[in-house]
Chains A and B, each alone.
Chain A
Amino acid sequence: MIELTVNGRKRSADVEPEMPLLWVLRDVLDVKGPKFGCGIAQCGACTVHLNGEPVRSCSVPVSAAAGQKVLTIEGLAQRGRLHPVQKAWIDHEVPQCGYCQGGQIMAAVALLKKNPNPSDKDIDAAMTNICRCGTYARIRTAIHAAAKSGKAKA
């Protein structure tokens, strides 16, 4: 039995230790926000935070998350209040099909936590998730907007 904290709640799963975190979340714990895109950590649709760090959960064995804190897109809004990145994503109409966007948002949140005022180059380096619909221009705009709103609050 592997125990971990998902979005603030203690959860347990009776699975093989090598089973990827993504599939434990999706098929065992029914947390469907992280998506399967490639299975080889290329696309980032499965991005979640493990102890605050963005990871590609398709390529992280669940044993590496045992006893750790996992945050997914579903856990980002606090008591119904959107995270500034989510708000910026809505304001700038970022998603198209939306399948990759949970991962994009989790990557953007992690970037802003480390670097509250990223330059275009910083965004280029951090945002390596694939979006097949081609929402990149809006992702960039929304990250800048979220950075600004973060500063306004502080």
Chain B
Amino acid sequence: MTKTFIASRRKFLKQSAAIGGGLTVGFAVPDALAQKEGAAAAEINAWVVVRPDDTVIIRYARAEMGQGSMTSAPMLVAEELECDWKKVKIEYVSANANVRRKRVWGDMASVGSRTIRFSQEYLRKGGATAREMLIAAAAQQWGVPASECAAANSVITHGPSKRKLSFGKVASAAAKLEPPKEVKLKDPKDWKLIGKPVKRVDIPDTVMGRQVYGIDVQLPGMVYAAIAQCPVFGGTVKSVDAAKVQNRRGIIKVAPLGTFVAVIADNWWRAKEALRDVNIEWDVGANGNATSASIMDFYRAGLDAQTDISVGRKDGDFDQAFASAAKKLEAEYFTPYLAHSTMEPMGATVLIKDGKVDVWTSTQNAEASLAVAAASAGVPLENVEVHRVQLGGGFGRRGGGQDFVRQGVAIAKTMEGTPVKMLWTREEDMQHDFYRPASLVRMKAGLDASGNPVAWYSRVASTSIISTLLHLPLKPPLAPAEGIDPQAVASLNDLPHAIPNVKVEYAQRNAHVPVGFWRTVGHSQNPFVRESFMDELASAAGKDPFEYRRALLAKSPKDLGVLEATAGAAGWGKPLPAGVFRGIAQTEAYGSYTCAVAELSVDKNGEVAIRRLVLGVDPGYVVNPDNVLAQMQGSAVFMLTAMFWGEITIKDGRAEQSNFHDYRLMRLREMPKIELVLAPSGGFWGGVGEPGQASIAPAVCNAIFAATGKRIRSLPLKNHGLTLA
């Protein structure tokens, strides 16, 4: 199977660069596999196209950013189609075609670990429907009942006569048939492809240096833009003096565009260098004095407030149970703002010509990019094409905001007829993110005389992602209750433990720092709070933290299952070498259940040596097991980076960190040993891109507590004098 470039609306581009062994980008006509391959290639349905030579084209609607869905989603189609995987080619769906074809491909977003769990049913049905049509066409040709025929490995066989026809021979006839109204999906025990390790289709191009990312798009006559945004979030351009750069080599234009200034030049480096010499005066607005401390005060006031508080969950009577508890615990936990830091900075290439808009950008949601481009350019949706490329990392940054598309269009509007490639510097990227929200959480618990929790309270004070990024009101069904941002209270509101009196509150306190979906979102921070506090309870009760959880999860079989499987694999309770300690944590996120056991030592210099990190996951069904391992390994790196070093701080209303020298990312030498416990219990489809992070921070911090007696209640660990050995 190979990956090919799909389908754009117009065939105006195809150019070739192929210099110095470089890359060739071909953009072909839309929906036009058939046209391209000759009229005989047949679209059986939206997902499946079959060529006369038996090549099967499976379409892929969502994005590929390393999460592996471009391989695993088509596997679901192929499973039911009964085709030979070696003959499969995978092609991106065009967002424009999705608009024109009444969203026949559904949601195109790769966000929220949802590609498999939200599309599995229609993808499998797409494959099964196409298979039935191919079988029916063969049966018609033979004049036999379809019920006597079966498909396997891209070949249809008539059972009684043993006659055979390959998919390619009947595809054009099959394409003309009415699709069956209902199809029966395979019993999981009969799966041939799902659950087997399948090589990711995009890897060979990557390894050859041929993969095309947004930043790599090359168009005839293209010019380049570098931008500077107001360093204080929400500020605007007051005045621009470009006298120093106007006559400089290669400079085409300096454009003030409201919230940012663009320099357009004949290459990006010249644009970026010139931008440094453009004198920009900013109107920073009301937030020029904000600091991390002032935001913290704002949140702490939210923890103490009597008004503007929403209740997310109320079981029993917390206040009474807490008042009469034998033992009371209270703690405050803090998690900081975090930057996404995708390796490819934000950018977009846009051409506006004759009322049409073409956009090339690394996006997690091509439809959102299309909608934003159409709105920004003032053209109908049908007049926009978003050309599909691989993403140089996403992690949530390239989903909801689409600020880079808005900017790309604004710049291209000043250069109609000329394609403009806008690219951010790393500094722009780090200082103009939609950050993982900082969050301050107050926890309280009451234990009975035998140490069991009878009362549990959480109040979260943070900025709402939903209301500030998506501008949506916090109401059901989007919110679990009026005024509750589901991400702000994730894993607290859905606490699975058997505790009779629970109260969860949310103080929505929207600071001026923009926030957004950062890989694992609320589950990247609240499990640290919940599972660390759970450890505090176990410790106060004098009980083993694994056994303590186990008892409380007796009626939550999936949480319990992964807890026991992981603890078992990690050898929980077995003796450890001198100086080595364990910590455990367990959570659910994105429909998958995870558990982590960390084994580590802490030396006198605060160096934390992680000997083993055992990660358990129950995603229900496993589609591509090696990819699950890859995602768990990646999740470990992402979370260890965040918990040891990750922190965006605010001074003078702006982000203080600017590049990788002051926003440290983990490197290879710091990578601990990861062991995966894959414990699929079947019967449901959970995500794998994000859940892996959830249990790691609390497991590591609980092990640090076991090792040092020091309870970690705020991240990152560098602020506690701890670093990863």
Please give the residue numbers on chain A whose beta carbons come within 8 Å of chain B beta carbons, in ascending order. 6-7, 9, 11, 15-16, 19-20, 23, 26-33, 35-40, 42-43, 45, 72-77, 82, 86, 89-90, 93-102, 105, 123-125, 127-140
Contacts and interface: CB of A to CB of B under 8 A. Distances in A.
A132 B642 CA distance: 11
Given A39-B425, A123-B668, A134-B638, A96 B67 contact: yes
Interface string B61-75: 000011110000000
Given A16-B249, A102-B209, A132-B341, A96 B667 contact: no
B153 to A, nearest CB: 24
B21 A31 contact: yes
Contact of B668 (A23, A124, A133): A124
Contacts of B206: 95, 98, 101-102
Interface stretch (B125-133, B315-323, B389-397): B389-397
B659 interface: yes
Contacts of B490: none
Nearest to B16: A30
A82 B203 CA distance: 13
B695 interface: no
Contact of A75 (B20, B343, B630, B671): B20
B20 A7 contact: yes
Contact of A42 (B65, B342, B393, B659): B659
B119 interface: no
Nearest to A104: B668
Contacts of B341: 132
B215 A35 contact: yes
Contact of A99 (B17, B213, B669): B213
A130 B665 contact: yes
Chain B at the A interface: mostly helix, strand, loop or mixed? loop
B49 to A, nearest CB: 26
A140 B671 contact: yes
A93 to B, nearest CB: 6
Contacts of A30: 17, 19-20, 22-23, 218
Given A27-B267, A30-B19, A133-B393, A38 B637 contact: no
B668 A72 contact: no
Closest A-B pairs by Cβ, 6 of them:
A134-B637, A96-B66, A99-B392, A97-B66, A33-B209, A98-B206
Given A16-B249, A96-B630, 14 more contacts: A29-B19, A31-B19, A31-B22, A35-B213, A43-B343, A72-B209, A93-B199, A98-B207, A99-B213, A99-B392, A102-B209, A132-B638, A134-B633, A139-B668
B268 A29 contact: no
B207 to A, nearest CB: 5
Given A31-B19, A132-B342, A136-B671, A86 B393 contact: no
B267 A130 contact: no
8 contacts: A30-B17, A35-B213, A74-B20, A100-B343, A125-B669, A134-B633, A135-B634, A136-B637
